[in-house]
A and B are shown apart, each in its own frame.
Chain A
């Protein structure tokens, strides 16, 4: 009883702290800056990290197995990993990932603790098929891989949005026929606009904002690195899952829906890497592929469970509201 109260407290603390941190960050961005609170989101994430660590340790002690046996627990684990990913670049003083990871943590925790999944909140007994040393390695690697790939694909989505923001603004400005207020440099901007609408390559950017080009390059670069790490973990997770399946279910690949969708996700990110081999594949094209990957990860992680079939079915559940 004490454990479940403790869990309750911890999860609520972490959730509220993260939401506070994000709110402050948004206020800083949009409205005004509170100088005393400039570091608040970082500290908030650190607090949340410790809370979730406490939560996981509690569940582990209480139930005797690593807390990764059902969807709720893996969501908590995912938000834990995301908070770690948030903190690592912070220690290196580069905060490109923080706008991605902090809201992701927030949303995963929110979903986990929402009313949709309350029937999974109790820590239960492991199904016999899951009682294995492999549980720790396979599931944790998969969730690590998902977390990193989610970050990377969200960065790519950000890249696409930033790339096309100018075009959207230009289109809007054309419609409003309000050319003068938009052009900062005077006529050169106006005359170049026609070209922008016609070609979609990156070349028009170089005549524009230098900082924006730098930002896009940095996003691209960071997305590449983190997707590389995520891909590595996903590979290890899939392969260890196959080895475990060979022991537990008789063969290492059973075309189970969850396995298959994990493989599809793997293939899409392999395509991402192969597109980046060419110079002109970098940037926008690879970002598009990575954003497709975002949806695939959610299908693989979440959607397949809704189907309720296959060998991974102990992760399945029905969405009920209480």
Chain B
């Protein structure tokens, strides 16, 4: 009896691009037809497949397995494999079985890591290839019994296993091309994954690989994939962001950058240190698969926005979409269109810009120099003396040996005279001698005003009470002079050069010298950080633009359309509706193929090549 294999719209072929190995089970069903079912497995990390496979394996085990093991509550007594029962199976149940059997297997069924368990009665359905299987793969039966209790009553009786072939994917492709199975009408859609048949298998063949170095490389690959999937976990990222926010909030409450004694005083234990640096992981926004055609009406209908047009053709839709500015890709009955590609990739740009900022901040923290100096007017200082390194990457540059000369210190005043400054010295000429620079010191006064004072000692300095002429300055404009007894003598302006007689001395106030306090800093990370800032601003701007994708599928005479947009969801629906209104409705007066297709259903129409007609 010829076994035929085909695909329906409900069942999806395997993604053999990803699978490393394949197993084909050919089973003979109760009514004598031969089914061949293909199993392939992909990498262990693919969780979607794992869920499927439990059900698959449970079906298989239930079919072929005996009592014992697992949770006894859900088992059902099954007959031995050699017996084949005819119970009047409907096509529908076969379809369910076939579909579930086609789902790709995972390591749950065949994994290099598990252990093979005993009781041959459980696994005897695989007897013909038992040694084959046993040599390279092991089983993990403890998973096998934990499936959900799903529609057990519908499952078929045990099948007779005809043979079991292990194939690499290349051979399978050749086989699949020749086998087709006609299927039924209206099996309900179960949750399925998009699997693609075709494509080449992986380069290495794990069967031949055996052990040794390739096992190591496989485990490394497994580990790196595990790490990557762990890192790109979205809830993890959200949790990390919460932690960052909470730590920052804490940081404003606790004073930063003080000496340890301050903290020992105020808080009994250690405090977060100044300027901690946090890292974030890059969130991959699903750009490992950029886009692909959607292969079934159900998947298309699962989109945010979907619609079915009863009499339409996909080419018309493509033309209309192109007119509206979409990029359209048409392949057979399938269509994919997008608009605004930039809106899809800017979130990546945003995260890259943030990484750039962090790199720059690290550079700043480790490679910068800081220092501050107060220099009176007219004096020099060498840049390099003043700065101190702040991190292990601080390298002094040539600029450090420059000498800076303070030419002038001047202040612009408002009418109210409010600014911040300090007076460094008073330059006086005494009796024609000088000029002398008398340093001025700030005096403590109540209130906001500042007062600077200096004294010109008269007489011997070593005397116990040094008397002298005091000069006070509230600002650089006027100096108030007092004599030795502290009596007020007069006020002079520094630039007037008017002499004043005090105690027999002629004093000319030449100048009141302000000193400028300078803070110096060199920071190698600043250009990087600024470029990061610019990139962040730009990409955040752009990411407001929306990106829309549309899938469409020609389903017999009707057209199934689905689409999604990541920003302007409300307007997107309106736009799509307007465009769909423009798609012309096809009025088919005579086409026998149309009626035939509508009878033979969904399956063949979508995927098989046009030459194959269901019989």
Residues in chain A within 8 A of chain B (CB atoms): 125, 128, 218, 221, 225, 228-229, 231-232, 235-236, 239, 242-243, 246, 250-253, 255, 257, 260-261, 263-264, 267-268, 270-271, 274-275, 277-278, 304
Contacts and interface: CB of A to CB of B under 8 A. Distances in A.
B112 to A, nearest CB: 34
A232 B541 contact: yes
Contact of B248 (A218, A263, A304): A263
B416 A125 contact: yes
B242 A257 contact: no
B287 interface: no
Given A232-B540, A260-B251, A246 B526 contact: yes
A178 B537 CA distance: 57
Contacts of A267: 241, 244-245, 248
B533 A239 contact: yes
A125 B418 CA distance: 10
A271 B236 CA distance: 11
Given A236-B537, A246-B526, A250-B519, A271 B241 contact: yes
Contacts of B275: 255
A271 to B, nearest CB: 5
Contacts of B560: none
Nearest to B354: A270
Interface string B234-251: 100110011011001101
B569 interface: yes
Contacts of A229: 544
The majority secondary structure among interface residues of chain A is helix
B238 A243 contact: no
Given A260-B251, A260-B252, A275-B238, A221 B530 contact: no
Contacts of B274: 255
B238 A242 contact: no
Contacts of B533: 239, 242-243
A235 B536 contact: yes
Contact of A264 (B249, B521, B537, B569): B249
A129 to B, nearest CB: 10
A261 to B, nearest CB: 6
B544 A264 contact: no
Residue among A239, A246, A268 having the largest count of chain B Cβ atoms under 10 Å: A239
Contacts of A263: 248
A277 B234 contact: yes
Contacts of A260: 248-249, 251-252
B390 to A, nearest CB: 11
Interface in B396-433: 414, 416, 418-420
A125 B414 contact: yes
B544 A218 contact: no
Nearest to A277: B234
Contacts of A221: 569-570
B283 interface: yes
A128 B412 CA distance: 10
A274 B241 contact: yes
Contacts of A253: 361
B568 to A, nearest CB: 8
A278 B283 CA distance: 13
A268 B541 CA distance: 18
B567 interface: yes
Contacts of B530: 243
Contacts of B418: 125
A271 B544 contact: no
Contact of A255 (B256, B419, B536, B568): B256
B507 interface: no
A243 B570 CA distance: 37
B523 interface: yes
Given A221-B569, A257-B252, A239 B245 contact: no
Residue among A236, A268, A304 having the largest count of chain B Cβ atoms under 10 Å: A236
Contacts of B328: none
A128 B420 CA distance: 9
A274 B238 contact: yes
Contacts of B523: 251
A239 B544 contact: no
Interface residues of B, number: 41
Contacts of B420: 128
A54 B135 CA distance: 87
A87 to B, nearest CB: 20
Given A252-B526, A274-B237, A235 B537 contact: yes
30 contacts: A128-B419, A128-B420, A225-B568, A228-B544, A229-B544, A232-B540, A235-B540, A236-B537, A239-B536, A239-B537, A246-B526, A251-B523, A255-B256, A255-B257, A257-B252, A260-B249, A260-B251, A260-B252, A261-B249, A264-B245, A267-B241, A267-B244, A267-B245, A267-B248, A271-B238, A271-B242, A275-B238, A277-B234, A277-B285, A278-B234
Given A225-B568, A260-B251, 11 more contacts: A125-B414, A125-B416, A225-B567, A228-B567, A235-B537, A255-B274, A261-B252, A264-B249, A268-B245, A270-B241, A274-B241
A242 B523 CA distance: 14
B317 interface: no
A264 B246 CA distance: 8
Contacts of A277: 234, 285
B529 interface: yes
A251 B521 contact: yes
Given A221-B570, A260-B251, A232 B544 contact: yes
Contacts of B283: 274
Nearest to A309: B255
A239 B539 CA distance: 13
A216 to B, nearest CB: 13
Interface string B542-574: 001000000000000000000000011110000
Contacts of B414: 125
A274 B568 CA distance: 17
Interface in B508-533: 519, 521, 523, 526, 529-530, 533
Nearest to B245: A267
Residue among B237, B567, B570 having the largest count of chain A Cβ atoms under 10 Å: B570
A253 B248 CA distance: 13
Contacts of B234: 274, 277-278
B463 to A, nearest CB: 45
A255 B238 contact: no
Residue among B248, B521, B536 having the largest count of chain A Cβ atoms under 10 Å: B248
B360 to A, nearest CB: 9
A125 B413 CA distance: 12
B208 to A, nearest CB: 42
Given A236-B537, A252-B529, A275-B238, A264 B248 contact: yes
A173 B523 CA distance: 66
A46 to B, nearest CB: 26
B474 to A, nearest CB: 19
A225 B530 CA distance: 28
A34 to B, nearest CB: 32
A252 B521 CA distance: 12
B570 A218 contact: yes
Contacts of B249: 260-261, 264
Residue among A229, A252, A268 having the largest count of chain B Cβ atoms under 10 Å: A252
A215 to B, nearest CB: 12
Residue among A229, A251, A263 having the largest count of chain B Cβ atoms under 10 Å: A251
Nearest to B237: A274
B319 to A, nearest CB: 30
B379 to A, nearest CB: 22
Contact of A231 (B370, B526, B540): B540
Contacts of A304: 252
Nearest to B418: A125
Nearest to B304: A279
A271 B244 CA distance: 11
Contacts of B257: 255
A268 B248 CA distance: 12
Nearest to B274: A255
5 shortest interchain CB distances as A-B pairs: A267-B245, A239-B533, A257-B252, A264-B245, A260-B252
Nearest to A274: B238
